[in-house]
């Protein structure tokens, strides 16, 4: 197999909901099959990556999203979704934004696309006047945690995350955009 073409990144519109759902389902299954309970993974994909949920999020004026696509035909291979944060941190800020989801198919990882998606989000967060971006990452996903650390994110808390009938631990990570000390 040859190396895949470098993905192009586009801002999302409401019309991209099905593409986001498809990539969300594929990457969640790809990442967690064999780690989390299979029926829980499938249920999570069907409910938490349903096109209707993405349409609801994209319809909100405070949601920002970017889609990574490849030629031919702009096949979707990844995305980042950012919105106002509801993560439980010790000192929440009114202007906190959350990277709600960032997914990239395994075949397209390691080429800089994830970093480009994060850079798009951080640029937009600064433009919107946010001073901090937060995200939650599964405590058992060391590769994702290492990626976020390379982007400058630091620990800011913990939360529980439900997939099916089980609770899992997430690390909450933060990146200050205003250069202040600490995450807060």
Tens digits of per-residue pLDDT, 1-38?
455 678 999 999 999 999 999 999 999 999 999 988 89
pLDDT value at residue 164: 82
pLDDT value at residue 169: 92
More confident residue, 72 or 80: 80
pLDDT value at residue 1: 46
Averaged pLDDT for residues 145-161: 95
For 66, the token pair is: 């970017």
Strands of the sheet with 154-163, listed across from one edge: 8-11, 64-70, 75-84, 97-104, 132-138, 166-176, 154-163
Q: Give CA–CA dist 18/39, Å, rounded.
A: 22
Percent of the chain with pLDDT over 70: 95
Nearest to 80 by CA among 63, 56, 93: 63
Q: Are 181 and 51 in contact (CB under 8 A)?
A: no
Side-chain-facing half-sphere of 120: CA atoms under 13 Å: 22
With the CA atoms of 115, 25, 136 and 35 taken in that order, what torsion angle do they form, in degrees rounded to the nearest 10? -110
Q: Please state whether beta strands 132-138 and 97-104 pair in parallel, antiparallel, or not at all (unpaired).
A: parallel
Q: Are 76 and 19 in contact (CB under 8 A)?
A: yes
pLDDT value at residue 156: 96
Residues 6+ apart with CB under 8 A from 71: 5, 8
Residue 182 clears pLDDT 60, i.e. is over it:
no
Q: Is 20 helix (H, G, I), strand (E, B) or coil?
A: helix
Tens digits of per-residue pLDDT, 90-141?
899 999 999 999 999 999 999 999 999 999 999 999 999 999 999 999 999 9
Residue 70 clears pLDDT 50, i.e. is over it:
yes
Nearest to 105 by CA among 22, 38, 46: 22
Element (H, E) at 59: helix 51-59
pTM of the entire structure?
0.91
pLDDT value at residue 162: 87
Residue 58 clears pLDDT 90, i.e. is over it:
yes
pLDDT value at residue 181: 42
């Amino acid at each position: 197999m040859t190396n895949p073409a470098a993905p192009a990144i586009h801002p999302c519109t409401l019309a991209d909901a099905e593409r986001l759902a498809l990539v969300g389902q594929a990457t969640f299954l790809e990442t967690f099959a064999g780690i989390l309970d299979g029926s829980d993974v499938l249920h999570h994909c069907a409910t938490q990556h349903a096109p209707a949920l993405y349409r609801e999020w994209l319809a909100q004026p405070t949601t920002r999203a970017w889609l990574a696509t490849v030629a031919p035909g702009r096949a979707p291979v990844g995305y980042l979704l950012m919105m106002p944060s509801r993560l439980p941190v010790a000192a929440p800020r009114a202007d906190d934004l959350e990277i709600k989801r960032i997914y990239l198919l395994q075949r397209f990882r390691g080429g800089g696309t994830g970093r480009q998606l994060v850079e798009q989000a951080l640029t937009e967060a600064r433009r919107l006047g946010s001073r901090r971006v937060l995200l939650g990452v599964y405590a058992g996903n060391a590769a994702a945690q290492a990626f976020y650390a390379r982007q400058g994110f630091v620990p800011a808390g913990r939360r529980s995350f439900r997939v099916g009938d089980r609770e899992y631990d997430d690390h909450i990570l933060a990146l200050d955009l205003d250069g202040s000390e600490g995450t807060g």
